[in-house]
Amino acid sequence: MNVPNSTPQTPDNPLLADWLTAYGLPPFDLVRPEQFEDAFKVAMAAQRAELDAIAANPEPATFANTLEAMDQCGRLYNRIELLFSNLTVSETSPALQAVQRTMAPRLAAHENAIYMHAALFARVDSLYRQRQQLARAAQDLRLLERVHLDFVRAGAQLSGEARQRYGAVVQELAAQCTTFSQNVLADENSFLLELKTESDLAGLPEFMREATRAAAAQRGLGENSHAVTLSPSLTEPFLSFSARRDLREAVWRERSLRGAHEGATDNRPVAARIMALRQEQAELLGYANYADYELVDRMAGKPSTVLKLLHQAWEPAKAKAQEDRAKLTAMANSLGEPTPIAAWDWRYLAEKVRAQQFDLDDAELKPYFTLDNMIAAMFDCAQRLFGLRFVEQQGLALYHPDVRAWEVQRADGTAVGLFLGDNFARPAKRSGAWMSIFRSQSGHQGGTLPIVINNNNFAKASPTLLSFEDVKTLFHEFGHGLHGLLSQVRHERLAGTSVLRDYVELPSQLFENWALEREVLQRHARHFQSGETLPDALLDKLHAARRFNQAWATLMYTGPALIDMALHSLPSGTAVDIAKFEAEQCRALGVPGDIGLRHHLSHFQHLFASSGYAAGYYVYMWAEVLEADAFQAFVETGNAFDTATAQRLLQQIYSAGNSQEPAQAFRNFRGRDPQVDAMLRKRGLLG
């Protein structure tokens, strides 16, 4: 594999020395938090010097001396920033968090200085104005269009006081977003519910007892102790199985109240300040609101298109939830549970109804879904679809003992990239699941191979048993991982997952479909003790129950998506009381109190840990429209691994990055525009 460009030899700071490690991995065992500040100082200066040289070139701007040169510069800065951003979410510490607070506004200022570089933008703009006359390949023109839009959206056309103010806004936003994410992590780590008696463990199946025992050990409790943390891998099954209603309520409330406690970690004023800054940012750039600004660079294009899609699911889901509520209430009555039911009852009662209606419960399924077997299953799917092999590499120095590494190869043995898996929850790691990179694919220097990482937060146990929702999450993130690994483009700005936000979830959500394929489960879903294959009867029940409780899931997701769009559609200059706004929106939408929201604004990291999903939480449903329709292309062939369809999928979606306009890429794969009906049927909201 290619390693990054040579860098200044600074033996006392490994971040600045050549990384002569296997695969060009960061020297994790040598890196210390205090080294980042000096390393960034050197790397930022180096990148600015490279860009200054491009801007000062006396020759007229050409694609090669401007766009290609820009795409290839900043190698040192990029590798340090990727390492830093990965460590701050996957293996942080008080020392690293302090560096993060210091560096966040400085890194934002550095990026702002690039996009405010007048001479650099002048060269880009001159090429953009003559783009119709440039005899360039389509991918080159796509790069020019994307880079020009990057500059414009970052304020390159501003001048005078507006230009100065914009720089101050983006720096403060970076600092506030860092505070927001650190506050959420602090609240998650501050909660621990110790289960001290057998009564506290009532209803918990053996896999949950093993997981709570492991969580207690991780937090330093006694050998036979049990505990629940706020990691979703613990809270969600606890809410599904615990017979102790009082404990379910305690866990549900604490999970809901992250970031909403008075004191140092209160995110309500932080989120309000972020909104004020975003409104000002949009106004400076000439937009009526922040949602309009963000959707300029999305497939949806405008908020009204988003709202139309969300309400197509919201209203039918509310109606369907009424039917489900009646079944859950009847179950509560039969169990002697209080009614009307509450939000901390829904999962518990739904699990009881599922067990009764489909003769299926999660505790019966989990023994067949070991983490190792499901990793093998997703690798098998990647091999059958795209011809990939995953060869585990032992002995690499990685940032935590939980992390595993696989060299990814084509059938002929040539290297594709390196895949890392970090699958377990721990206090130094943020909750949730995500994909990231330590190095991007590109065509630089004959080809740079990617280093891709998947993060999950499963409860560590021996063995680790997954719910089927966990299996879907594993496959989802691996879909993102494949999008990064399979990228085959020339320009790094267009590589892998560097696509429009409401398109980036297509490869990930599409890959979830193979987790439910019968032949995949028959091959890989084996009982962790007996080795028995998942029985056909259980598999039939799993398929029969796949639409069960989908109204609840739809409302839990769509409510926050609608609130996100309403919040970011507020006119510039509108002061926001975060808690009051959320309450008002819940009333206006008719959010059922016994269902609630998956995310509350005080801990909604999609929105406030960065701008990535701001005015963009809808993208999962937008992408679901795309993926549900896309998977039908396989269904129509009668073979989930149809070779011709998989090859078309590889060429048009997984390897294409941002080298073409996404709507056209979908049409090239499917032969037409996407249709919403497949998504609504999948959720059981259409006959």
Q: What is the reported pLDDT for 9? A: 47
pLDDT band at 5, cuts 50/70/90? very low
- The single residue of 283, 337, 477, 627 carrying the catalytic annotation is 477
Closest by CA position to 373, among listed 508, 465, 480: 465
Tokens of 566: 């309403």
pLDDT band at 481, cuts 50/70/90? very high
- Chain centre distance of CA 8: 34
Q: Could you tell me where the DSSP H helices lie in 116-244?
A: 118-129, 138-153, 160-190, 206-218, 232-241
Say whether pLDDT at 8 is over 80. Answer: no
Better-predicted residue by pLDDT, 364 or 290: 290
Number of H helices, E strands in the chain: 27, 7
How many Cα atoms sit within 13 Å of 401 on the Cβ side? 2
pLDDT band at 452, cuts 50/70/90? very high
The stretch 398-420 carries a mean pLDDT of 97
Say whether pLDDT at 10 is over 80. Answer: no
What kind of fold does domain 268-360+550-617 have according to CATH?
Neurolysin; domain 3 (1.10.1370)
Q: What is the reported pLDDT for 645? A: 98
Closest by CA position to 442, among listed 498, 500, 392: 498
Tokens 């006081």, located at residue: 161
The stretch 279-290 carries a mean pLDDT of 98
Say whether pLDDT at 80 is over 70. Answer: yes
Per-residue pLDDT reduced to its tens digit, 181-231: 999 999 999 999 999 999 999 999 999 999 999 999 999 998 889 999 999
| In contact, 187 and 429? CB cutoff 8 Å | no
Which CB contacts under 8 angstroms, 24+ apart, belong to 126-132? Answer: 126/60, 126/61, 127/61, 127/62, 127/63, 127/66, 127/67
Tokens 């130094």, located at residue: 428
What kind of fold does domain 367-544 have according to CATH?
Neurolysin; domain 3 (1.10.1370)
Per-residue pLDDT reduced to its tens digit, 571-624: 999 999 999 999 999 999 999 999 999 999 999 999 999 999 999 999 999 999
Identical fold for domains 22-157 and 268-360+550-617, yes or no, is: no
DSSP-based three-state secondary structure for 392:
strand
Better-predicted residue by pLDDT, 7 or 187: 187
Q: What is the reported pLDDT for 7? A: 47
Say whether pLDDT at 6 is over 70. Answer: no
List the domain boundaries for the chain: 22-157, 191-256, 268-360+550-617, 367-544
Q: What is the reported pLDDT for 20? A: 95
Architecture of domain 22-157: Up-down Bundle (1.20)
Residue type, 143: L
Say whether pLDDT at 486 is over 50. Answer: yes
Its pTM stands at 0.94
Per-residue pLDDT reduced to its tens digit, 145-172: 999 999 999 999 999 999 999 999 999 9
Rounded Cα–Cα distance for residues 245 and 423 (Å) = 30
435 forms bridges with which residues in the sheet? 454
pLDDT band at 238, cuts 50/70/90? very high
Stated length of the chain = 687
- Binning the chain into helix, strand and coil, the percentages to the nearest 5 are 60, 5, 35
Say whether pLDDT at 659 is over 70. Answer: yes
390 forms bridges with which residues in the sheet? 408
Q: What is the reported pLDDT for 1? A: 41
Q: Is residue 477 flagged as an active site residue?
A: yes
pLDDT band at 11, cuts 50/70/90? low
Contact partners, residue 388, CB within 8 Å, separation at least 6: 379, 382, 408, 409, 410, 416, 485
Per-residue pLDDT reduced to its tens digit, 453-480: 999 999 998 899 999 999 999 999 999 9
**Backbone φ, ψ for residue 571 (5° rounding):** -60, 150
DSSP-based three-state secondary structure for 554:
helix
